[in-house]
Amino acid sequence: MYRAHFGLREPPFGLTPDTTFAFSGASHQEALNVLLVASASGEGFIKITGDVGMGKTLLCRRFLSTLGDDYVAAYIPNPMLDLRGLLLAIAEELGAEVDRQADQHHLIKAVNHALLGFARQNKRVIIFLDEAQALPVETLEALRLLSNLETEKRKLVQVVMFGQPELDQKLAQPSIRQLNQRIAFQHQLSGLSANETSQYVSHRLRVAGYSGEHLFSSGALAALYKHTGGVPRLINVVAHKSLLAAYGEGKPRVSRQHVLRAVHDTPAAVQGTNLPLGGLALASAAIAGVAAWLYVV
């Protein structure tokens, strides 16, 4: 609704992971470099952890987009599965013909057959497990079965796990210490710095079509960083609501007050803060903006 008002082609702060808007902050670039180096080695497990909203799924998609034709990727977005369910999902991702009623032994055999076929084509296979902290401990331990699949020259598959910090807690359990020992590369994502937050906002605005000067004031950017901690998802939520608040008032720029209203309307960002403005102010501004938009249309 505010696109025309600010001269935007599309909403700049959507929550859907979109590689078009990818911003290479220091931590994300380091993580991407780890993935590139690790995939070239072809050995062991890779672990990328980060708190909620740090952009793990976007990082996964960025890495997937770099893989050439000599790689085959199997992406498992929600691995809250038992071992049989995970093997079935992997087999289907690899295009293996399997009976959905097959037992664990035959599923492993089907996966191994598919992996050998790719090896004969000189293709490397990488399995991506997003939200890996949801994997049951028994399934995590059984993942070692996949790492045992190999030829005389190299491993047939590499596993990349993306997860929240709870994944580290699971891997620290003595019962799965053997899997933990096989993690050859790892990286923990951190939030954006204050300077990176400003660059992040400017970057997303430019990608969305904004061509003006400093849509967010310096005070707005400072408040945005202070109350989001540099967490990309929270930045997107608060920045979007800030634009709504400014649009509702017919303002050409986002001020600190607009950001504070947006923060107060965002429970995850409000924690630990004492803000002077209530969420009602944002709601009123947004409603006024919608009314104005409907009137123009």
Mean pLDDT of 149-169: 85
Cβ–Cβ under 8 Å, residues 231 and 191: yes
pLDDT tens for each residue of 226-276: 999 999 999 999 999 999 999 999 999 999 999 999 999 999 886 544 444
The token pair at 159 is 């596993």
Q: What confidence category does residue 176 fall into, taking pLDDT thresholds of 50, 70 and 90?
A: confident
- Relative to beta strand 183-188, strand 45-49 is parallel
Closest to 79 measured CA to CA, from 136, 125, 35? 136
In this structure, of 20-24, 62-66, 83-87, 138-142, the range with the lowest mean pLDDT score is 138-142
Domains of the chain: 26-188 (3.40.50.300), 193-296 (1.10.8)
Q: Provide the pLDDT for residue 279.
A: 41
Look-up: residue for tokens 């013909």? Answer: 97
Closest to 74 measured CA to CA, from 159, 142, 132? 159
Closest to 96 measured CA to CA, from 125, 128, 61? 125
In angstroms, rounded to a whole number, what is the distance separating the alpha carbons of residues 164 and 159?
16
Radius of gyration of the chain (CA): 23
Q: Provide the pLDDT for residue 294.
A: 31
In angstroms, rounded to a whole number, what is the distance separating the alpha carbons of residues 162 and 132?
6
Q: Give the H or E element holding residue 188.
A: strand 183-188
Within 13 A of 238's CA, how many CA atoms are on the CB side? 35
Q: Provide the pLDDT for residue 227.
A: 96
Q: What confidence category does residue 83 fall into, taking pLDDT thresholds of 50, 70 and 90?
A: confident
pLDDT tens for each residue of 199-230: 999 999 999 999 988 999 999 999 999 999 99
Q: Which residue intervals of the chain are DSSP H helices?
A: 3-6, 26-41, 56-66, 83-93, 104-120, 137-142, 144-147, 166-171, 177-181, 194-207, 218-228, 232-248, 256-264, 267-270, 279-296
Strand order from edge to edge, sheet including 71-76: 71-76, 124-129, 157-163, 45-49, 183-188
Cβ-in-10-Å burial (0-12, 13-18, 19+) of 85 comes to: middle
Look-up: residue for tokens 């123009």? Answer: 296
